[in-house]
Structure 1
């Protein structure tokens, strides 16, 4: 399963020394970690990064704000957008927080098949002046666990993926010269220096952490992208749902759905598609709001949005008739896996 919030994280703290505490060092570290992940197919092109620089005296002041920049194979090569942002950062005088956060697509193995996720890992490097660098690695997949986030055994998935993560963590620690500090136990899992604790030993924190939290996390992220409104259908239902698949350039971005038994409707993003799934979803939710404002029932709204989609850049619907899922929970699990 690919989650909206991290399954777990690891951090490393290093003291660079004044000679090494230049903004370019944050990019060098992120690039080296990305290369380690790539050696294990845990990161594949093209990774995207946000690079920001803020004075320690006023963290609201973004002196450099490079968003969604490509983390090239040679990220500091002259002519790249990231190298230009770094050059701008290095022209500044003063003490700064330099932050680089990279989103890494990668492969997870299941039943001998590779499945791509657009945010399998995230790398964050924060340089606090000349004194301190903190590196964090997050993962958004449960492929490293003996049980998935619904509490189901997945021995073959674990065997095909956990060793890759353990090897990468070991190599990153060798690169940085210090052992990782595993993140705190969370609703999904408990990180360790080599991966995760076996949830079968003491039992997971929740019997079904996916079912308990993932739907709400997706909804929060989607609705944070659009203004609040009272023109809304209910976003949960206990009834079966009908749905259309939203695709763009052959990629599934998500599913727009409506309940067959009450006035609920919404959009379920395909989390392995990453940010694109949520950005498109916000636009499909706005179309549902228009239908609600016209007084359409949820099922009628589903047909209406299929006939009146947002701009093509937000995906389209090819089916002439909706499919049906036995429950909203079943539909929400579908785009979390593939």
Structure 2
């Protein structure tokens, strides 16, 4: 399963034993970590990054914000977007906190094939006062766990992916000169220095954590993109649903759905598609609100929205007729797996 919040994280701390830690050093270290992931196809050379510098005295005061930086095969080449942004950060004076973050698309492996997630990992390097560098690696996949985040054992997936993560952590630790501090056990898993603890004996912290929390996390991300309203369809149903697949340029971003038996309809993002799944989802939800304002039933709204889609930049319906799912949970499960 791919999650909206991290499944686990690892942290390394470096101090300025050999001089002040400048932005350029933090960025070079983060890119070196990115390369360690790329060696194992855990990152691909299509990542995006952001450099944010805030005043050390007032963290809300933004001194530099360079986002959407594209990281290609040579991200630190002269004249690249990243190199230009680093130069701007280096030119800053005074006390500031610098954060450099890379969102890493990558591949996880399954016995039936390989799958890509647009945010498999994230890398963050944060410089405090020029004398402390905190590096954090986060993952948004459960491919490294003996049990997935819905409590299903997955021996084939674990065998294919856990060694890749362990090798990456070992390579990063060698690069940074020490083992990581694993993050605390969370709703999904318990990180360790080499990956994750095996929770098959003691069990996870929550039963079906993905089913319990991911829907709430997704709803929060979607609702943050649209105005609040009480004039809309119910967002949950226990009945079977019908749905259309939303694609853009051949890539599935999510699904619009309607209950076959009650007053529910909505949009399910495909988490592996990353932020795009949520960005386009906002437009489709607003379209459903239009259908609601016309007094259409959920199934009639589904057909109306398919025939009256939002701007083409938000994707297109790919089926001629709606597909059937036995439940909303089954559709959400599919959207989180692939």
Q: TM-score, normalised by structure 2?
A: 0.98
Does the CA-based 8 Å contact 2:20-2:131 persist in structure 1? no
Does the CA-based 8 Å contact 1:18-1:131 persist in structure 2? no
Tell me what 2:157 maps to. 157
- How much has 1:16 moved relative to structure 2? 2.9
Answer yes or no: is 1:281 the counterpart of 2:281.
yes
What do residues 128-177 of structure 1 show as CA deviations (whole Å, max 9, x unaligned)? 12111100000011100111111111111100000000010011111111
Supply the distance in 2 between the matched residues of 1:325 and 1:134 (Cα, whole angstroms). Answer: 45
Of stretches 80-89 and 306-315 in structure 1, the one that deviates more from structure 2 is: 80-89
Q: Which runs of 5 or more structure 1 residues have no equivalent in the other structure?
A: none
Does the CA-based 8 Å contact 1:246-1:315 persist in structure 2? yes
Does the CA-based 8 Å contact 2:49-2:102 persist in structure 1? yes
Supply the distance in 2 between the matched residues of 1:146 and 1:260 (Cα, whole angstroms). Answer: 36
SS of corresponding position for 1:116: strand
SS of corresponding position for 1:200: coil
Answer yes or no: is 1:70 the counterpart of 2:101.
no
Does the CA-based 8 Å contact 2:243-2:258 persist in structure 1? yes
- How much has 1:179 moved relative to structure 2? 1.3
Answer yes or no: is 1:25 the counterpart of 2:25.
yes
Of stretches 311-320 and 322-331 in structure 1, the one that deviates more from structure 2 is: 311-320
Does the CA-based 8 Å contact 1:18-1:130 persist in structure 2? no
Tell me what 2:325 maps to. 325
SS of corresponding position for 2:336: helix
Supply the distance in 1 between the matched residues of 2:17 and 2:76 (Cα, whole angstroms). Answer: 21
Q: TM-score, normalised by structure 1?
A: 0.98
- Indicate how the Cα distance of structure 1 residues 17 and 96 shifts in structure 2: closer, same or farther if over 3 A, else same: farther
- How much has 1:18 moved relative to structure 2? 6.8
Question: How much is the aligned-residue C-alpha RMSD, in angstroms?
Answer: 1.1
Supply the distance in 2 between the matched residues of 1:322 and 1:69 (Cα, whole angstroms). Answer: 38
Tell me what 1:58 maps to. 58
Tell me what 2:198 maps to. 198
Answer yes or no: is 1:46 the counterpart of 2:24.
no
Answer yes or no: is 1:138 the counterpart of 2:134.
no
- How much has 1:5 moved relative to structure 2? 0.9
Tell me what 1:229 maps to. 229
What do residues 13-36 of structure 1 show as CA deviations (whole Å, max 9, x unaligned)? 111347351111121011000000
SS of corresponding position for 1:296: coil
Q: Which aligned pairs between 1:144-293 and structure 2 lie closer than 5 A?
A: 144-293=144-293
Tell me what 1:119 maps to. 119
Q: Which runs of 5 or more structure 2 residues have no equivalent in the other structure?
A: none
- How much has 1:58 moved relative to structure 2? 1.5
Supply the distance in 2 between the matched residues of 1:71 and 1:62 (Cα, whole angstroms). Answer: 23
Tell me what 1:129 maps to. 129
Does the CA-based 8 Å contact 1:27-1:76 persist in structure 2? no
Supply the distance in 2 between the matched residues of 1:77 and 1:54 (Cα, whole angstroms). Answer: 26
Q: How many residues align?
A: 338
- How much has 1:72 moved relative to structure 2? 3.1
Q: Which runs of 4+ in 1 moved over 4 A?
A: none
